Chain A
Amino acid sequence: MSAQRSFVQGNEAVVEGALAAGARYFAGYPITPSSEIAEMAARKLPGVGGVYMQMEDEIASMAAIIGASLTGKKSFTATSGPGLSLMLENLGMAIMAEVPCVIVDVQRSGPSTGLATKPAQADVMMARWGSHGDHSAIVLAPSSVQECFDLTVRAFDLAEQLRHPVLVLSDAIVGHMREDVHFPEPEALDPITRRDPDVGPEEYVMHADGADGLPVPLPPFGSKYLVRANSSAHDPSGYPSADPGLARANIRRLHDKVEDAVEWISDYSLIGPDEPDVLLISYGASARTAEQLVVDPPTDSRPALLKLRTLWPFPDRVIRDTVASFPGVPVVVPEMNLGQIVREVQRVVGKEHPCYGYHRSDGQPIEPGELHRFVEDVVT
């Protein structure tokens, strides 16, 4: 890895980011448009002492990265919508047992096999709600090759800090796009590493928070610490329990540890004029379309863009404050689905505020021209 500008694909940048973050285990089942991640992981992991495991399906892939993470290795997998559907059960396992891991979903057009090589952004709600039961989610959405690298590094950090699975929600445009990017020197990065618990094995309780309010460190299987990775309801030590009070406390804690961290998890940027005539809120590949209108605005047009890099936990305050800073300015949410993030934005801004979705769900990107025509209608 060098500090020079490289010309690489989004999927390759994900692998470079994972390696830079210290990932040393990948288990997966290649699927378009994510396959280059598996290919690159297979090529590069052995060279850094890591392991690539070709699995029989996505259910096993998710199980394998949870197992590897429990042995102390930073682990990841990559897939697309059909594969994420299969991973959801064990995603819940990782949430319940508080096992850090990273899942990359390079979204393609569905439902089912759909348009296998074409892009979409229709897994946003699956990423949030797909696994059963009450839980939270951490989901980051890159819109460039550079962000594929940067957000993958961050995904591993968040996974370790919160002991929670983190999804990188890419798409077929961003994953297959090549751009000139800057990979930092390894020493410029300071990825969060696993550390030993602050207490001895006798006092260690694996489902508890430390003095910093974050979950206590997770010691590896086989160490002197007892680790019970339990998918059933359990007490703080991981021992099974059907006690309603313990269940309530556990579910609440798992949920709140993410939702309470929304302020520092939230990553976003706001670009455009001080007094815009429309506020675009977007993410992933669609944010590039919106950005085009901002950097090269059509005549008599003054759009601003709030680009979300964190989708979940949903950045309510960021949305609320940004919208409030442009009184009366309508909001348009372009996304390659029939309306997912726009519902969250509408929930936050309230029924009184003009807020519209611009949606496309045919395996094609939203083009700047069509978005501009829609925005023109909204503004006038």
Chain B
Amino acid sequence: MNTLAHEDTCTNKRREVVLAGSGGQGLVFLGRLVGQAAARAGLRVVQTQSYGVASRGGFSKSEVIVSEAPIAYPMAMDPWGVLALTDEARRMYRQGESANRLVVFDRYLSSDPEAAGERGFPFTQESRSLNIEGSFNLMALGAFLALRPVVPYAEVLSILREDGSARGEANVEAFQHGVHLAGDS
């Protein structure tokens, strides 16, 4: 497992991440999970969400701001990391990117070759081959947090493990697989 997580979360800097894609991909769920993990780690945290009127489809995003100091503006101004689960989301955040920004995307959902400041992973294919396609978003989050450790992923894992259901187990497996994907690449 990537140990970068614990080193980089020990900062009082404001860290902003955006989880963006399409309605129904569980982006608000992911944002909430990251936020819960941050709160458990004793960090100040704000999570916001934005979506359209459709319950499936349409641009959707969840933003998480983490800091050791109180947080004023609750939304991302210059996200350090973006998890883009649609081609639209990837393009949106690639444009005007800052030097530090990393956009993590799914190669199946967005097939353009990797550019500077981008990392693509086969989340869809991997989750299908492991028969945990319903947890593909957790696999993406695992890889994303390995590369942009705004929260210790041990906290995320401990929250996921509290859900003892079959779905919860698939989520844990997917998340850990995602961390390894990023670590091995």
Contact = CB atoms under 8 A, between A and B. Distances in A.
Interface residues of A, number: 25
Contacts of B70: 295
A291 B35 contact: no
A295 B39 contact: no
Given A291-B72, A296-B72, A176 B49 contact: yes
Nearest to B45: A180
A6 B70 CA distance: 15
Contacts of A291: 72-73
Nearest to A364: B50
Contacts of B74: 173, 177, 179, 285, 288
Contacts of A289: 73
Interface string B67-98: 00011111101000000000000000000000
A367 interface: yes
Interface string A274-300: 000000000001001101101110000
A268 interface: no
Interface residues of B, number: 24
Nearest to B37: A7
A296 B53 CA distance: 34
Interface string B149-180: 00000000000000000000000000000000
Classify the interface of chain B: helix, strand, loop or mixed: mixed
Contacts of B75: 173, 365, 367
A7 B72 contact: no
A369 interface: yes
A317 interface: no
Interface centre among B36, B38, B74 (most CB of A within 10 A): B74
B110 interface: no
A173 B77 CA distance: 15
A177 B47 contact: yes
Given A177-B46, A178-B46, A288 B39 contact: no
Nearest to B44: A180
Contacts of A116: 53
Contacts of A117: 50-53
Interface in B12-53: 31-32, 35-36, 38-39, 43-53
A40 to B, nearest CB: 15
A7 B48 contact: no
B158 to A, nearest CB: 14
B48 A368 contact: no
A5 interface: yes
A178 B49 CA distance: 9
Interface centre among A173, A180, A288, A367 (most CB of B within 10 A): A180
Nearest to A290: B72
Contact of A294 (B32, B50, B72): B72
B25 to A, nearest CB: 16
Nearest to A4: B39
Contacts of B46: 177-179
Given A178-B46, A180-B44, A7 B73 contact: no
Given A178-B32, A288-B72, A7 B77 contact: no
A6 B36 CA distance: 9
B73 A368 contact: yes
B48 A176 contact: yes
Nearest to B78: A369
A289 to B, nearest CB: 6
Contacts of A176: 48-49
Residue among B51, B53, B75 with the highest chain A CB neighbour number at 10 A: B75
A310 B51 CA distance: 29
A176 B72 CA distance: 16
B36 A7 contact: yes
Contacts of A6: 39
A61 B31 CA distance: 33
Given A7-B45, A291-B72, A365-B75, 7 more contacts: A32-B53, A117-B53, A118-B50, A179-B47, A292-B72, A295-B70, A369-B77
Q: Which 8 A-B pairs have the closest CB atoms?
A: A292-B73, A7-B39, A291-B72, A292-B72, A178-B47, A180-B39, A295-B72, A179-B46
Interface of A: 5-7, 32, 116-118, 173, 176-180, 285, 288-289, 291-292, 294-296, 365, 367-369
Interface of B: 31-32, 35-36, 38-39, 43-53, 70-75, 77
